[in-house]
Amino acid sequence: MEHRELYHLDAWGLREKLLQKEWKIEEVIDHYRSVTARKNPDLNAVVHQIEEPVNTDGPFMGLPFLIKDLNAVKGHPLTYGSKVMDGFKAGWDDEFVKRFRKGGLTIIGKSNTPEFGFTPATESVHLGFTKNPWNRDYSPGGSSGGAAAAVASGMVPFAHASDGGGSIRIPASNTGLFGFKPTRGRTPFSMHLNSFAVSHGVTKSVRDSAALLDILEGPQKGDLFATPAQGKPYAGLDHRDLGPLKIGYMADFGDVMPISQDVQAAVNKTARLCESLGHHVEQAYPDIDLNKFMDAFVVVWVVGGALAVKEAARMNGKTVDSHNVERMLSTLIEKAEGYSALDYEKARLYLASESAKFHAFFEQYDVLLHPVNASSALPLGCYNGEEKTIDEILAVSAAYAHLAPAANVTGLPAMSVPLYWKENNVPIGSHFTGRFGDEKTLFKLASQLEEAEPWFHRYETLI
């Protein structure tokens, strides 16, 4: 049974209602299951339902949560959005799943993802396309598009998401959510894709995102390194003690790619808003060659991706061929096998040297503001991996999400903040990158922007 009042609460607000005993957790979970049953057949955001005992041992007191279908939940399918994983059930819980449960979250399902999470649109042939709840002719983005569509439409209060090249921030931008990518090493460390990927979540409020990071922070056994803990809860940060920031502002991507007028309008509005809040905003560009940077990123990303696909298939007792993966993936593997070890190492070292330049930028600036993407949400079908080769997919990505991977390569914390909606009702986020290890400044800035330009009321239109 659905309860309209619950639509007006973020996860932390729901927690407060549970503490005050105004609602029972069983009623809350039943509400979200009912919303999912009504909305998911159209949006295709949730691909697997999970029934497990309500988990109230933790700060979130049993609130319902989705896990992206790139992470293992013991006893349940782990498809990676691919036919090659048909019939596979995980025999273990992913480290993030363990931490979400320890934080008091009840896992009620798994969210949709493109095949192995390799495109910034959630258009898996195996699991089906996910639609944007704001406008169903458009994609929510990816690869955490299922999570983003589910949260924005009210199927869950928040959800797990991961980001190896923009996969939290891009769908957050396209669906009007707050999407935060932590510093590399802030949460359990992953060697996949040269350690570019991190896990966190997509949320409707800044405080929900901060509270999620509180339960995820810290290394796991065997991590090669970890970013030192902050010492204070992120959820308790107060933006009122945030002094004026010096914000570098990339109004465009220079000669690398054109920026659409709506994206330009969105980021310009955000720059003006920051100025009105007392921050110093000036145009500034990190001293890197974006084209060469992305060329090197593609080498590392393609090789790491091919290895991940082959290892997953082997785990399921299969080998990869053109019959059990999309054309995009089969050609990705061919491309990866065309690189030498020297090609890979050259690309990796180049990215390391360019990352140092990116970090140097933050010796002069507190924060970098720029567009999340070169255009707003793309129409459904732009990334259909069954029809396109990896080179065709990369060409679309290069014209769409050129700078988003920079935060993954450099390890810097970054976020997409929902501050603009187009006439066609599709949101456009603004991207902020911070200093290494300085999530607290980003959270404070985001909270300040949220107070100055509230967005939560907009979700009511999706009820």
Q: Which two tokens stand for residue 81?
A: 């959005």
**The predicted structure's pLDDT at residue 224:** 85
| Separation of CA 196 from chain center | 13
- Rounded CA-CA distance 97/91 in Å is 13
Asked if residue 193 has pLDDT above 70, the reply is no
pLDDT digits (tens, 9 = 90+) for 281-293: 999 999 999 989 9
- Rounded CA-CA distance 171/179 in Å is 8
Asked if residue 192 has pLDDT above 70, the reply is no
Instruction: State how many domains the chain has.
Output: 1
Range of the domain at 178: 4-462
Q: What is the mean pLDDT of the chain?
A: 96
**The predicted structure's pLDDT at residue 241:** 93
Task: Give the domain CATH number at 320.
Answer: 3.90.1300.10
pLDDT digits (tens, 9 = 90+) for 128-153: 999 999 999 999 999 999 999 999 99
pLDDT over 70 for what percent of the chain?
99
pLDDT digits (tens, 9 = 90+) for 85-144: 999 999 999 999 999 999 999 999 999 999 999 999 999 999 999 999 999 999 999 999
Residue by residue, DSSP assigns 244-313 as --EEEE-SS-TTS----HHHHHHHHHHHHHHHHTT-EEEE---S--HHHHHHHHHHHHHHHHHHHHHHHH
* C-alpha torsion sign, points 183, 189, 195, 199: negative
- Rounded CA-CA distance 359/321 in Å is 41
* C-alpha torsion sign, points 60, 61, 66, 67: positive
- In sequence order, the β-bridge partners of residue 430 are 371, 417
Average pLDDT of the segment spanning 434-449: 99
pLDDT digits (tens, 9 = 90+) for 206-259: 999 999 999 999 999 988 888 999 888 999 899 999 999 999 999 887 777 789
**Residue 128: left if φ>0, alpha if ψ -120 to 50, beta else—which one?**
left
341-355 burial string, b = 16+ CB within 10 Å, else e?
eeebeebeebbeebb
Predicted TM-score (pTM) of the model is 0.98
Dihedral Cα 180, 183, 184, 189, nearest 10 deg: -70
Residue by residue, DSSP assigns 102-150 as HTTEEEEEEE--SGGG-SSS-EETTTEEPPPTT-TTB---SSSHHHHHH
Average pLDDT of the segment spanning 420-443: 97
